[in-house]
Structure 1
Amino acid sequence: MKIAVLSFAHVHATRYIQLLRDRSDVELITTDPDAPPGDPTRGKALADELGVTYRAGYEEAFAERPRAVIVTSENTRHRQLVEQGAAAGAHVLCEKPIATTEDDARAMINACEQAGVSLMTAYPVRFHPAFAALRRTLAEGWLGSLLSVHGVNNSSAPGLDRPWFADPALAGGGAVIDHTVHIADLLDVLLDGEQPTQVYAVANTLLAQGGADEPKVESAGLLTLTYARGLVATIDCSWSHPSTHPTWGGLTLTCVGDRALAEFDAFPPLLDGYDTTQATSRWEHGTIDLDAAMLDSFLAAARTGQRAHPDGETGLRTLRTVLAAYESLRTGQPVATAA
């Protein structure tokens, strides 16, 4: 099956390429025409380093009629590439957030529906077996009635390696749009799509990178989501890890019920110690490859023509939480959302 990776802008693009390159059932082509000239982390330079087929532009990639495409461009460029993919009859996996505006997200969903192709949003954490166990625990009543959920998705600032993450014209915002959506997706799964009735957000730029003349985006944020059932959820979506931290970041979820409490950690350490040669702590992953699990699901949907999950509607629901958070930041007040 022929797969095209469109753009290397997102930090996850390299990992997707590596996983697809090593599969015997995939013919991989790549393109990154928007790469800054001379950037060794983008464009043909990266493709050559990874040993994958490269095409000069999107039109050349689409001319090869891929069965599916993966969109890993800057956030505000998602719509154009998704619509092009749909028009070419390709199933689409779009990096999160699905878009930066509701109009763009809806247009992408409509384009894929009209073309009869799947639109999947890249939320790999929901494929974690421990999260599946958490969902079963809740569904089987072991936690009782869910009272509160506290989600944390922190990392170092992605703008250190990819400056566009700190450019609101390309990213749509900062830490709030970057990290809210993963937790919002897990809440979406646990609550069967139920949406918050109110969102309140606070944020600051204290950890922002760059000079005084560069655009500032929020680097630390905290959201409070209120649901009709009385449930309260919080999302810490900060870029609060230093660049020297031994891991890129982490994601945890604490669910408090009236009968029990459950804690989910997406990236638990397998080995924790100290490396004398590097004079740093040593940390090794002890989890499954979530990106690989997500790609398996996407490729299976592309082969069979079944609807991929999490779909575009999921991406839109999680985006609405983000947009409400930005409205709250603008007004300083809680923002009512659709029940």
Structure 2
Amino acid sequence: MRKLKIGMLNFAHSHAFSYYRELRSMEGVEIAGICHPDRQRVQKLINEDGIFYTPNSAELLSKEVDAVIVCSENVLHKRHVLEAAAAGKHVLCEKPLGVTEEEMEEMIAACGAAGVSLMTAFLCRYLPGAVRAKRAVERGEVGEVLAIKGYNRGTMPGGWFVDHAKSGGGAILDHTVHVMDLMRWMTGREPACVYAEGGTLFHPIDVEDAGLVHVTLEGGIIGMIDTSWSRSRSYPYWGDVKMDIVGTKGVLHFDAFAEVNEVYSDASDRARWSYWGGSMNRLMLEDFVRHLMEGRSAPISGEDGLQAAKVALAAYASLRARDTIVL
């Protein structure tokens, strides 16, 4: 059976290295090459695996490649997805899908016209706790959902993430999309209006590092997303993803990283959490590979990426207008 050939299109986002390691050990998959403008960032991979490298995206896309994973800076997602679509390659694109509604719609349309799949990398759908929470909601264990409070608070990533010209936004764009996607996925309801507060509270950077995004879903479900880069370097893990789902019959609490051991080591200057739960990276990539092998629709579509990012973009509009934004 022919292996699925996947190219890595840019390593700006650190997730690219995790994806590469998972793909390298996956049966039925061959990494056809990697592309990044700075060879030094990927030199270790080149040395270890003798992998084909090019700084030129067009050269990678001209190879015998079935699909690419786009992990460039947010503002380059559109360019790389459109290039891949024009070359007839399927795409898994890191979140957020884009930095404006117009460019995301263009990306979706281009992939549709080219007959290639566009999947958004919403890892959190593959967290074991998230899957169990969705099933519990679908079984009606909490009754009719009335409200959801979501949390996605991490450490400040630095680098291009805090350069608005490359990221398109700060913590609100970076973290809102994950929780908003979980809300849509678990309830089957679309966002109707958004009100937000935000600011730069924790770090001397030029983008916001904190936000509270209030969203009303269809049917009147009230949502709140605590999105920030508020976790200090001394925090025992990189961050959190949590949800409190309030229904007419009860409350369900979901903590993505509760499956941890506390590690105390004299070699470290702080206590750490060692996560032993399921690998959301691998589970997502296996799903991406499976849907291409079986010729199915993308399990997390470009439209899913658009709808989640629209809420983050509406949050920025709300901050500017100091008012509620109707979607």
> TM-score by structure 1 length?
0.91
- For structure 1, list consecutive stretches of 5 or more residues without a partner in the other structure: 211-215
1:126-157 Cα deviation digits (max 9, x unpaired): 12232222112112211111111010011101
Conserved 8 A contact 2:35-2:60: no
Q: 2:213 aligns with which of 223, 237, 244?
A: 223
Name the residue aligned to 2:248. 258
Per the alignment, residue 275 of structure 2 pairs with 285
Aligned residue in 1 for 2:114 = 115
In the alignment, the residues of structure 1 paired with residue 227 and residue 238 of structure 2 have an alpha-carbon distance, to the nearest angstrom, of 14
Alignment map for 1:1-339 (pairs within 5 Å): 1-35=4-38, 40=40, 42-45=41-44, 47-48=46-47, 52-159=51-158, 163-192=159-188, 194-210=189-205, 216-337=206-327
CA distance, structure 1, for counterparts of residue 48 and residue 287 of structure 2: 27
- Residues 50 and 323 (structure 1), Cα distance of their counterparts in 2 relative to 1, 3 Å cut: farther
Secondary structure at 2:317's aligned position in 1?
Answer: helix
AA aligned opposite 1:298 = F
Q: Specify the code of the residue in structure 1 equivalent to 2:201.
A: L
The answer to whether the 8 A contact 1:155-1:248 is kept is yes
| Structure-1 separation of matches of 2:239 and 2:253 | 17
Question: Take 2:72 and 2:53, find their aligned partners in 1: how far apart are those partners?
Answer: 16
Greater mean deviation of Cα atoms: 278-287 or 6-15: 278-287
Given that 1:31 and 1:57 are in contact with CA atoms closer than 8 Å, whether structure 2 keeps it comes out as no
1:147–1:57: structure 2 CA closer, same or farther, 3 Å change rule? same
CA contact (8 A) 1:268 1:286 kept: no
Once superposed, what is the RMSD of the aligned Cα atoms? 1.7
User: Which amino acid in the other structure matches residue 132 of structure 2?
Assistant: A
1-side partners of 2:234 and 2:34: how far apart?
Answer: 31
Structure 1 pair 274–44 and aligned structure 2 pair: CA distance change class (3 A): closer
User: Displacement, 1:207?
Assistant: 1.9
- Could you tell me whether the CA contact under 8 Å between 1:118 and 1:306 is conserved in 2? no
Measure the CA separation in 2 of the matches of 1:274 and 1:311.
41
- Counterpart in the other structure of 1:213: none
Q: What whole-Å deviation, never above 9, does each CA across 1:19-41 have from its counterpart, x for those lacking one? A: 11222422213434433x8xx5x
Change (3 A) 1:209 1:309: farther
State the aligned residue count.
324
Q: Distance in 1 between matches of 2:156 and 2:18?
A: 18
Amino acid at match of 1:320: K
**Residue ranges of structure 2 left out of the alignment (5+ in a row):** none
Contact residue 29 and residue 54 of structure 1 kept, 8 A:
no
Q: TM-score, normalised by structure 2?
A: 0.94
Q: Separation in 1 of the partners of 2:259 and 2:130? A: 16
Q: In structure 2, give the amino acid aligned to 1:264.
A: F
Stretches of 4+ aligned residues off by more than 6 angstroms:
none
Q: Give how far 1:43 is off.
A: 4.0
Distance, in Å, in 2 between the alignment partners of 1:245 and 1:48 is: 33
